[in-house]
């Protein structure tokens, strides 16, 4: 059993998001952090769908590109990995949303299928077809 409260995990995730925002700013990219209400894994049609409920009224079907960071093990929660998503609406205007995501370690979860749910409970499905190192 983990001895760290969820508030410690949330603070650790916020620190990683803040560090990424600062790193992007050095490259003249302004990332807008979005608060997450809930996350989970849903198994649909032999797929592992990574589900994120985001505290925003934004219509996530407008997202045209999702970039996923390299997974990092959570030091406070054994068996869990952390990534952040950079989500773009227009590749010509690099001002992405940044969203933290923690999930149970599972070799079958390739982080390619996503369900993004806004505060109006409207779900947008996204599939990542290719990963490139940046």
pLDDT digits (tens, 9 = 90+) for 19-54: 999 999 999 999 999 999 999 999 978 899 999 999
How do beta strands 36-44 and 65-68 pair? Answer: unpaired
pLDDT over 80 at 2, yes or no: no
Write down the mean pLDDT value for the chain. 91
Q: Would you call 54 helix, strand, or coil by DSSP?
A: strand
Say what percent of the chain tops pLDDT 90.
81
pTM of the model: 0.88
pLDDT over 50 at 75, yes or no: yes
pLDDT over 80 at 79, yes or no: yes
| R_g of the chain computed on alpha carbons | 15
How do beta strands 47-54 and 113-117 pair? Answer: parallel
Q: Output the six-digit token pair for 128.
A: 């990542």
Residue 91 makes CB contacts below 8 A (sequence gap 6+) with 64, 65
């Amino acid at each position: 059993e983990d001895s760290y409260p969820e508030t410690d995990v949330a603070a650790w995730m916020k620190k990683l998001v803040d560090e990424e925002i600062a790193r992007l700013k050095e490259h003249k990219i302004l990332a807008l952090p979005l608060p997450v209400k809930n996350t989970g894994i849903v198994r649909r049609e032999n797929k592992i769908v990574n589900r994120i409920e985001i505290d925003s009224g934004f219509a996530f079907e407008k997202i045209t590109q999702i970039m996923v960071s390299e997974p990092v093990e959570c030091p406070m929660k054994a068996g869990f990995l952390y990534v952040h998503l950079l989500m773009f609406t227009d590749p010509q205007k690099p001002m992405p949303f940044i969203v933290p995501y923690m999930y149970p370690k599972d070799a079958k979860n390739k982080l390619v299928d996503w369900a993004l749910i806004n505060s109006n409970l409207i779900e947008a499905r996204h599939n990542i077809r290719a990963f490139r190192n940046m």
